[in-house]
C-alpha cells in the first residue's frame, strides 16, 4: 500500500510540481490571415506552466474569440508542447460602409476590413451581419451557386430573404453584365440550368435581366 501511494505521489509531482513536464513550446498551424504572434498572444499560454494544469478548453475559447478564426482545437503534445490548430474564416463577400470594405464569411461574420475593395462580390443589404435574415439568405444563395455562375458573380443584393438578386459579369471581354433575379435560396441547380439555357438563346444573349425566382415561369428583359 505504501508503495502504491509513493508511486502515485511521485507521478503527481512529475505532472503538477516538477519542471520536467511544463509548457516549453507553442505550435500554431492553419493560419494565413492571423499573424502567429498575435494568435499566441490571444491564447495566453504561460511558458513553464505544468502541462497537466493547462486548461485547453479555455485556451480554445480565447483563440476562437479572434475574429478571423472560425474554429480551433488545442492539444497537449507531451512532454512540453501545446499545439493550436485553427480553421480561419473564408471571406466570400464584401460590404462597403463609410469608405471601408468589410469582408464577410459564409456566416456573415466580419473577417477583415480595408479601405481597398477586395476581389469579392459586393453584398448590398439593409443591415449586413450574421443575425440579419436577408444577409443569411444572400450568403445561402452564394454558397449553393453552380460554379459557372459563382465565377462570374460581381454583386449580390437582398431586399428580403425571399428576394435575392445577382449581378454577373460577362463571360468574355465585351459581354454585357447580367442581372439575375434569383429569389429565395433553394433549387439552385435548376435555376442555374435555366440561366445557362436562356443565355444560349438569341433572346437570352441580349437580355440584361433574367428572372428565375419562380422556375416554372421564367422571364427576361
The answer to whether residue 98 scores a pLDDT higher than 70 is yes
CA atoms within 13 A of residue 44's CA, in its CB half-sphere: 12
Angle at 118 between CA 29 and CA 196, to 5 degrees: 105
| pLDDT, tens digit (0-9, with 9 covering 90-100), for 8-25 | 444 444 445 556 799 999
Q: pLDDT tens across 139-198, in order?
A: 999 999 999 999 999 999 999 999 999 999 976 555 688 999 999 999 999 999 999 999
Where does the chain hold its CATH 3.10.20.310 domain(s)?
18-88
124-137 tens-digit pLDDT: 999 999 999 999 99
Q: What separation in angstroms does the CA of 15 have from each of 50, 78, 79, 83, 217?
A: 7, 11, 10, 18, 70
Q: Which three cell numbers stand for residue 136?
A: 443569411
Beta strands in the chain (DSSP E): 25-29, 69-77, 81-88, 93-97, 100-104, 110-114, 122-124, 153-160, 163-168, 178-183, 209-211, 219-220
| Domain covering 18-88 assigned CATH 3.30.70.1450 in the classification | no
Amino acid at each position: 500500500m505504501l508503495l502504491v501511494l509513493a508511486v502515485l505521489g511521485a507521478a503527481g509531482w512529475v505532472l503538477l510540481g516538477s519542471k520536467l513536464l511544463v509548457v516549453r513550446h507553442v505550435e500554431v498551424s492553419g493560419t494565413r490571415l492571423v499573424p502567429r504572434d498575435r494568435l499566441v498572444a490571444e491564447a495566453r499560454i504561460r511558458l513553464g506552466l505544468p502541462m497537466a494544469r493547462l486548461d485547453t478548453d479555455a485556451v480554445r475559447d480565447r483563440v476562437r474569440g479572434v475574429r478571423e478564426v472560425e474554429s480551433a482545437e488545442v492539444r497537449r503534445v507531451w512532454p512540453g508542447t501545446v499545439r493550436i490548430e485553427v480553421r480561419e474564416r473564408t471571406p466570400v463577400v464584401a460590404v462597403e460602409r463609410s469608405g471601408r470594405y468589410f469582408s464577410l464569411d459564409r456566416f456573415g461574420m466580419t473577417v477583415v476590413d480595408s479601405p481597398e475593395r477586395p476581389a469579392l462580390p459586393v453584398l448590398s443589404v439593409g443591415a449586413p451581419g450574421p443575425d440579419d435574415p436577408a444577409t443569411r439568405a444572400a450568403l445561402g444563395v452564394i454558397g449553393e451557386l453552380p460554379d459557372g455562375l459563382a465565377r462570374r458573380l460581381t454583386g449580390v443584393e437582398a431586399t428580403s430573404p425571399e428576394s435575392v438578386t445577382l449581378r454577373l459579369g460577362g463571360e468574355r471581354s465585351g459581354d454585357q453584365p447580367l442581372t439575375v433575379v434569383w429569389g429565395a435560396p433553394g433549387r439552385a441547380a435548376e435555376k442555374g440550368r435555366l440561366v445557362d439555357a436562356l443565355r444560349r438563346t438569341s433572346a437570352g444573349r441580349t437580355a440584361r435581366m433574367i428572372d428565375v425566382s419562380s422556375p416554372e415561369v421564367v422571364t427576361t428583359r
